[in-house]
Amino acid sequence: MGRLSGKVALVTGAAQGIGATYALALAREGAKVSISDIAAPEATRAAIEAEGGTTLALAADVTDPASVEAMVRETVDAFGSADILVNNAALFGNLTLKPFWEMSGAEWDKVMAVNVRGVFECAKAVLPHMRASGYGKIVNVASGTVFKGSPLMLHYVTSKGAVVALTRALAREVGGFGIRVNCIAPGLTMSANVKANADWAGEIVAANIASRALKREAEPEDLIGTLLFLCSADSDFMTGQTVVVDGGSVMH
């Protein structure tokens, strides 16, 4: 019996990288996992099922309320509840580092729509189900860049700062319903998208590692322990918090 046996978890942005790692970890702890991405994450579904897990792979656009509502509805129809939401979907790995004056308004709006409004839409869609059961865990994903003021990605850093603020305010609004809302803030994590982006290589990665108390690259698996803590009953008296998991680059 895992810590999440009998629970139903939804993970957005689960097609690869950190999202896929989150989904597999939740399944290993006994949760039934509904995984979504712009295209249904079939590779992640296959990986979970290969280990005997129970999962549902769905296509969902977190910026589209109707799409998000359909994702939640299909999950509840299939598994009976929506106990855990991991708001992982975000634009990052494919972004190009650039000074803010070279960013277009359209690029800014796209990052905000996915990284901030997507969190809002998903939380709004699961609320009725969590409220009905009197219990729920919402885990948002911010970034250590919020506490550093990292340059050359103003839209991304701003969006993740908004996620921290959203986490705090949302926790106040839904605590009376038994819903906990917390946030993970990873450091630079070597996911597949990050490794494939030439901007995230060489001196930038080396400088990031040098800023850490623990001098190594971060891998998606480094985030699992914190994720499972925030999704399980172990953190039932904790809400509105942001936990930085970056090897000690940021300490706050």
Beta strands across the sheet bearing 55-59: 55-59, 32-37, 8-11, 84-87, 136-141, 179-186, 242-245
Give SS3 for 175.
helix
Q: How far apart are CA 33 and CA 209, in angstroms?
A: 33
pTM over 0.75: yes
Rg, C-alpha atoms of the chain: 17
The pLDDT of residue 91 is above 90: yes
Q: How confident is the model at residue 201 (pLDDT cuts 50, 70, 90)?
A: confident
pLDDT digits (tens, 9 = 90+) for 69-84: 999 999 999 999 999 9
The whole-number pLDDT of residue 86 equals 98
The whole-number pLDDT of residue 199 equals 75
Looking at the structure of the chain, the number of domains it has is 1
Give SS3 for 11.
strand
On whether residue 172 sits in a domain, the answer given is yes
The DSSP line for 79-133 is HS---EEEE-----TTPPP--GGG--HHHHHHHHIIIIIHHHHHHHHHHHHHHHH
For helices 118-133 and 154-174, the axis angle rounded to 10 degrees is 20
Q: How confident is the model at residue 142 (pLDDT cuts 50, 70, 90)?
A: very high
pLDDT digits (tens, 9 = 90+) for 9-37: 999 999 999 999 999 999 999 999 999 99
Give SS3 for 59.
strand
Instruction: From residue 194, give the alpha-carbon distance in Å to each of 188, 191, 216.
Output: 9, 5, 16
Indicate which residues carry an active-site annotation. 156
Note down the domain range covering 69. 8-245
Percent of the chain with pLDDT over 70: 100
The pLDDT of residue 196 is above 90: no
On whether residue 119 sits in a domain, the answer given is yes
Exposed/middle/buried for 3, CB within 10 Å: 0-12, 13-18, 19+? middle
On whether residue 3 sits in a domain, the answer given is no
pLDDT digits (tens, 9 = 90+) for 208-236: 999 999 999 999 999 999 999 999 999 99
21 CB contacts (<8 Å, ≥6 apart)? 220, 221, 223, 224
On whether residue 2 sits in a domain, the answer given is no
Q: How far apart are CA 176 and CA 185, in angstroms?
A: 25
The whole-number pLDDT of residue 252 equals 84
On whether residue 252 sits in a domain, the answer given is no
The whole-number pLDDT of residue 197 equals 76
The whole-number pLDDT of residue 213 equals 95
Q: Contact 191/93 with Cβ under 8 angstroms?
A: yes
The pLDDT of residue 161 is above 90: yes
The pLDDT of residue 192 is above 90: no
Mean pLDDT, all residues of the chain: 95
Bridge pairing between strands 32-37 and 8-11? parallel
On whether residue 141 sits in a domain, the answer given is yes
Q: How confident is the model at residue 189 (pLDDT cuts 50, 70, 90)?
A: confident
- CATH code for the domain of 42: 3.40.50.720
Give the burial string for 204-234 (b: 16+ CB within 10 Å, else e).
eeeebbebbeeeebbebebbbebbbbbbbee
Q: Contact 141/183 with Cβ under 8 angstroms?
A: yes
On whether residue 204 sits in a domain, the answer given is yes
On whether residue 115 sits in a domain, the answer given is yes
The pLDDT of residue 204 is above 90: no
